[in-house]
Chain A
């Protein structure tokens, strides 16, 4: 079993819908990351969380440390949000190495 599991693996929605992508992990962590990989392959870091919630534009990331679960939400989704969203964790305290989930492929249709 992977230490970091994402769901769903694939998600297709219509423009304007509210999107939720989930990430569960089975190890102690010092931080959790959400990354975005565009169809061209480039990877961008969206959020790093160790507790609570962060918001940037239409993106919101939350984490529940007790439940070992994080969600990434996209409000008012747009076709340009189509990408692979990747969850990753720093395993253990003070660890810099990242362990990655397999990614969620999101497609937003106009």
Chain B
């Protein structure tokens, strides 16, 4: 299994440009989510999905759109990039059942470092 993959790893945008951050998982997980991580603020939830066709807003959804047309993919769209969206973005997935995991069974992608100038 590749786990959770994210592309690109790095991206520089100009203010007003749009782009899509890609996220895919091959573990057939139902739950997927997008977070941003900013210095001194910890991780914050942007959007999440509990299954194909179902998405909902997290703590900081403004300026971002998501869709979940398949179980595997959960892209994050920046509609009109702003310098305040400069951050590191993480995608994560998990199954409803944690089985015998000591952990939550939640898997994180490697992150995308986005800079908006």
Contacts and interface: CB of A to CB of B under 8 A. Distances in A.
Which residue of A97, A98, A100 has the most chain B CB atoms within 10 A of its CB atom?
Answer: A98
A42 B108 contact: yes
Interface residues of A, number: 23
B102 A47 contact: yes
Contacts of B111: 41-43
B52 interface: no
A41 B110 contact: yes
Interface stretch (B17-25, B39-47, B66-74): B39-47
Interface residues of B, number: 26
B58 A45 contact: no
A20 B98 CA distance: 26
Given A33-B103, A98-B43, 9 more contacts: A33-B106, A43-B92, A45-B104, A45-B108, A47-B103, A48-B98, A48-B106, A96-B50, A98-B45
